[in-house]
Structure formats: C-alpha cells, structure tokens
Amino acid sequence: MTQYADPALLEVEAKQALHQLNAQVARAFDRMDRCLMVTLWTEDAEVDWGKHQGDAKAFVVESTSPDNTLERTFSSISNEYFEIDGNSARGEVYVINISTLIKDGKKEDRLIGGRFLDQYRKEQGAWKIAKRSFVHDWNMNLPTTAVLDEGLFAQFRLRGERSQSDPVYALFGG
Amino acid sequence: MEPAERILAIVDRQAINDQMTRYIQAVDRCDLELLKSVFHADGVVDFGVFEGNAWDFCEQNIPFIKENLVMGWHRFTNVGLELEGDRARAESYMLGNAAVRLPDGSLINCPDNMRYLDVWEKRDGIWRIFSRDLVLDWNASWAFSQRSDGEFEQYQLQGQRDESDPVYQHGLIRPL
C-alpha cells in the first residue's frame, strides 16, 4: 500500500507545496516582505523578468525595497500547471497584478496580466524557485477611481498595506 | 511524517479548498443555506460592514447583496494555509466584480481586490470557518459597459444569482 501510494502521494504533496510557494511569493511581493522573499528562492536562482536578467538577488532586493511611486499591489495567481520530476519541477502560473502608481502627484491603476514560467527545486524538504521567467500578456492603464473612505467601502476597516503592518501578520506572525 | 499523516494533510488542504470554493458559490448564487454551512454556528466574522456571529452575518449579508448589487461575481486565488492538527490558518486572495446602481439611477462597475484571513476548525470530521476577517486592498469605479446584444446574444446560458443558475442542475451545489 505504502509503496504503491508513494509516487502519487509525492506528486500531490509537491503540487500543494508549489501552490503554497506561489502564494508566499505573492505575499512577500505585495507586503514588501524581504525576510520571507529571500527564503523562497534557491541560492543560485535566476530571473528573466523585464529589466532583471540573471541572478535573482537583485530582483529580490528591489521588489522588497520601499518605492514611493507604488502605493499598493495585488498579485492574484491562478491556473497553476505543474510537472513534477523528483526533486525538480516546472510550472506555468497565471497572474493578474493590480497596482496603484503615483506619477507626478497623480494616481494611476495599472493592471498587468501575464504568466510565470518557473523551474523549481526541492532543497532540504522545501520547494523553492530556481528560475522564474515573466511573460507579459496584456496590460490596462487607467486613472485611479478607488473609493476607500466613502460609502460602503469606508466600512471595510481592515486595509492592505505594503508592509508588516498588514493584517495578515496578526494571523501568521512576522 | 508517516504516509498516513501525509495523506491526512493532503486531504485536509483539499477539504478546506473545497469549502473556500463553496463560500464563493454561496455568495455568487446568494445561497444562504450554503453560506451558513461553510461556517461553524459559533463562528465569527470581522468584515467591517459586519462584526459578530457568522450565521447572523450570513442572514444579513445575503439579502443585502441581493438587493444592493446588480451583479456580483468573485474568484478566489492564492491560498496560503498553515495546518495545525484540527485547526488551520489561511490567507486567500479574492478578485470580485460587482455592479451597483447610484442614487441617480446610473450603473457603475466596481471591481475589487480583497483578502480573507481565516481560522478553520475541523469538528466531527468537517472543516468549517471559525473566524474570517476581510481586508480591503483595492477597488475601482468603472463605467458599466455590459451588453446583451450583438456577439453577446449567442450566450444562451447566463449566470444567475439564485437557484435558477445552471450549476444547480449539474448537481454541483452540495453543502456539507
């Protein structure tokens, strides 16, 4: 029974762990959480993500550094397709990133639809990203129309933050 | 971990994911019975618009969204989950799309990004939410541009916010 179940068990465990990994990368990115972000990549990880080419460390640092032109980001991932091969895996992950940018004192919403094409590696029991390429599919750029402090939306007391003051840290700890 | 424990962890993750799906089914079909089934009777929510007992929230929220949203569709993504025996903590992302009628009668389209921060508990073998908080990340007010003419006439199956939606005929609404 155990011998029979092991390959299937390992595969579904890996897929669940890779979903968790992708959710954690999104959290680290959206909350500007460098402590979390650095743990999610292999030591020799690489990126092919716009201006970032090669060593992932520069991306990890820049994506978790304060940016006065970026008010908020929301990275929603879906359509995760994984191929598992022992301690390695490949994946395609769809993402819609919605950001509010501050440009010349004006706020603008930027929606980007794209996909991550990833290589993953399991090290000491933990799945990490070994290489991430970002494929741009579409974008939308609109003046900000967010209603945050009026009407019904004003009642949503808990607000997302690009820092560890976000409510998620009360649930999971810093 | 022993294989039995590993299998249990996989099953638990899948069960919580299924319940998260039912939550969205319930909100999008305005299905009060289904929505209540996702929460424990003594569960609590902190949604800003409502703080208190989860079942009271359900009773208040379903008629509210039915009356105040002209349409409302949601998709949840990004589930970060920490299992601790019969309890779990979870963050999930939600992208919603709703339309509301303004006092002047015009319609606007309001997409929104929110997150759910949850504590789940397995009791008598069934995972339900003990605590759910709602975090607002972003929204927009766009001109309502939905059409039903031209190329849209071909879509005979139209989503409905009640039990006439085709998902019911397919037997895919099953509260635990």
Please judge whether A158 and B134 are an interchain contact, meaning their C-beta atoms are less than 8 angstroms apart: yes
pLDDT for res B26? 98
Q: In terms of residue numbers, what domain contains A104?
A: 2-172
Is residue B74 less than 8 Å (CB to CB) from chain A?
no
| Better-scored residue on pLDDT, A86 or A150 | A86
ipTM confidence score: 0.88
A12–B10 CB contact, under 8 Å: yes
Token pair 């003046």 in the structure block, residue: A143
Q: Tell which residue, A118, A97, A94, has the closest CA to residue A18.
A: A118
State yes or no: pLDDT of A2 exceeds 60: no
pLDDT at A4 over 80: no
Rounded to a whole number, what is the distance in Å from the CA of B138 to chain A's nearest CA?
A: 7
Could you report the per-residue pLDDT of A45-69, keeping only the tens digit for each? Answer: 999 999 999 999 999 999 999 999 9
pTM of the model: 0.92
Quickly list DSSP for A53-104.
EEEHHHHHHHHTS--TTEEEEEEEEEEEEEEEETTEEEEEEEEEEEEEEEET
**Smallest CA–CA separation between A145 and chain B, in Å?**
5
Task: Kindly state whether residue B154 falls inside one of the protein's structural domains.
Answer: no
Residue B4: left (phi > 0), alpha (psi -120 to 50), or beta?
alpha
| Chain A residue whose CA is closest to B117 | A168
Helix or strand run (H / E) with residue A30: helix A2-31
Predicted confidence at residue A173, as pLDDT, reads 85
Residue B57, domain member (yes or no):
yes
Place of tokens 């899948």: B14
Contact residues on chain A for B82, CB-CB shorter than 8 A: 172
Q: How does residue A137 score in pLDDT terms, banded at 50, 70 and 90?
A: very high
**Total number of domains in chain A:** 1
pLDDT digits (tens, 9 = 90+) for B40-67: 999 999 999 999 999 999 999 999 999 9
The residue segments making up the domain with residue B114 are 3-147
Does B64 fall in a domain?
yes
Which residues in chain B are contacts of A142 at CB distance < 8 A? 140, 142
Please check the confidence at residue B145 and state whether its pLDDT lies above 80.
yes
Assign residue A80 the CATH number of its domain.
3.10.450.50
Within-domain flag for B127: yes
CA-based R_g, chain A, Å: 18
Q: How confident is the model at residue A5 (pLDDT cuts 50, 70, 90)?
A: low
pLDDT at A8: 86
Task: Look at chain B and report how many structural domains it folds into.
Answer: 1
* B165 within a domain of the structure (yes/no): no
Instruction: Provide the token pair at A38.
Output: 């650095």
**Model confidence over B83-99: pLDDT tens digits?**
999 999 999 999 999 99
pLDDT at A3 over 90: no
CATH classification at residue B76: 3.10.450.50
CA angle A164, A170, A172 (to 5 degrees): 90
SS3 A126: strand
pLDDT for A71 beyond 50: yes
- Contact between residue B78 and residue B66 where contact means Cβ atoms under 8 Å apart: no
Average confidence score pLDDT of chain B: 95
Cβ separation B133–A78 shorter than 8 A: no
Structure tokens at B119: 């504590």
Read off the tokens for A26: 């999104």
| Closest to A67 (Cα-Cα) out of A153, A158, A163, A155 | A163
With CB atoms and an 8 Å threshold, state whether B138 touches A156.
no
Q: Assess B63–A contact: CB distance below 8 Å, yes or no.
A: no
How many beta-carbon pairs under 8 angstroms link A with B?
A: 116
Q: Assess whether pLDDT exceeds 70 at residue B15.
A: yes
Residues in B 79-138 with any Cβ partner in A closer than 8 A? 79-82, 89, 91, 93, 95, 110, 113-115, 117, 119, 133-138
Q: What is the pLDDT at residue A1?
A: 44
Alpha helices in chain B (DSSP H): 3-29, 32-37, 54-68, 166-169
Average pLDDT of the residues of chain A = 94
Q: Is residue B159 part of a domain?
A: no
